[in-house]
Chain A
Amino acid sequence: MSQQNASIRIQCDLCPRQCIIGPGQSGDCRVRVNLDGRLTAVTYGYPCAVHIDPVEKKPLYHFLPGTPIFSVATVGCNLHCKNCQNWSISQRNPEDEPAYALPPADLVRAARERDCLSIAYTYTEPNVYYEYTLDSCIAAHEAGLRNALVTAGYINPAPMEKLYRHVDAANIDLKAFSDAFYREVCGATLAPVLDTLVRAKNLGVWVEVTNLVIPTLNDRDEDISGLCHWLAEHLGRDTPLHFSQFYPQYEMQHLPETPPATLDRAREIARAEGLQFIYIGNIHRTKDAATLCPGCGAALVERAGFRVTANRLASGKCPDCGAAIPGVWS
């Protein structure tokens, strides 16, 4: 380590924040650190959460339904949403949270040993532990496993495209269709997220979108219709959209949970905008979790909570009318 290297500041070009990081300091995400003049992702190979989830929990409803997905996360996030449900790990310093030693090869081996078909990089923000995600995705593909990201999509185009070439599915959070919301609630901006959505779709990644409906902040009709209109126009009407119910969390304890009627209204607006697959989540209502055929209306995949109770799809098609249902079904 030279004196010169020890004193230089480094700019991280992974996400739109473009943090300039001083010696020994971390970027805004807490996990990308200037160590001895080198930008180091200090959580590489050290996830703080390792679990097997149902794939429906991500939520991914059109991706290998009913299968377990090996889910990992390290601490850190490049957004700081006041409503974060996972703030206890996303807004935490790496040195303060116990972690597991699980390098990419071991991660893939663990997923296979537990009969998982896919690996999810989830819970916090897979973009900030980018190198770990990328290497694990490559190792998983070599082992015949699929990869799924659950992400806020706040990343620069070049690293995004490099990573997403090894990704099969992504649930991308579109938190609101408002730059002011992103700035005030998440400490981020809207445009890069929209850019990620379009690029992911163009790269052939299976994309589902989640929108957490927060009372008084993003639940106006025009907020929801704007978001749905953009999705239908830029990602296609067959893009699954999950409206999630908000619960008071973290720094937003003062707001009430989303009334079910608001979620119903959101679904009607999305339907009016032409979206074909609209789901309501974070709330236990069986009828809003079923995948319906856009051709004949038949229930194709039925769910109760995170459990698939019936799957009538035949090679990705409706058995009644033969309509092809978009998704990754096998």
Chain B
Amino acid sequence: MNRRTFAVLVFRSAVTVLSIMAWPAVTAVRRVIEARRSRRYPGPVLRVDHETSRQPGPWAG
């Protein structure tokens, strides 16, 4: 094993270990994003369009 291959292996191992260690932080950030998205509802709220509402819906049922 030459010096360059050894350095690459060490670097990859370090990245893997750091990724695993960082995972709780990643999930915490995701949770915050999810919470913000949930709170954002109702998002774009429209007024009921009288003409549209008088037509049958395009969906089944």
Contacts and interface: CB of A to CB of B under 8 A. Distances in A.
A123 B57 contact: yes
A171 to B, nearest CB: 8
Contacts of B38: 24-26, 33, 35, 42, 95
Most-contacted residue by chain B among A86, A95, A171 (CB, 10 A): A95
Given A33-B38, A89-B59, A100 B31 contact: no
Interface of A: 22-26, 33, 35, 42-43, 46, 49-54, 57-58, 71, 73, 85-86, 89, 93-102, 110, 114, 122-123, 150, 171, 282, 306
15 contacts: A23-B31, A24-B39, A25-B31, A43-B42, A46-B41, A51-B52, A52-B54, A53-B57, A58-B61, A86-B59, A95-B38, A95-B40, A95-B43, A101-B42, A110-B48
B59 A99 contact: no
B56 A54 contact: yes
Given A50-B48, A57-B61, 6 more contacts: A43-B41, A100-B46, A100-B48, A101-B42, A114-B54, A282-B60
B2 interface: no
9 closest A-B pairs by CB: A24-B35, A51-B57, A85-B60, A86-B59, A150-B61, A98-B44, A42-B41, A123-B59, A46-B42
Contacts of B59: 49, 73, 85-86, 89, 123
Contacts of B52: 50-51
Contacts of B32: 24
Nearest to B60: A85
B47 interface: yes
B32 to A, nearest CB: 7
Contacts of A100: 45-48
Given A22-B31, A95-B40, A123 B53 contact: no
A94 B57 contact: no
A282 B59 CA distance: 12
Contacts of A35: 35, 38-39
Nearest to A22: B31
B46 to A, nearest CB: 5
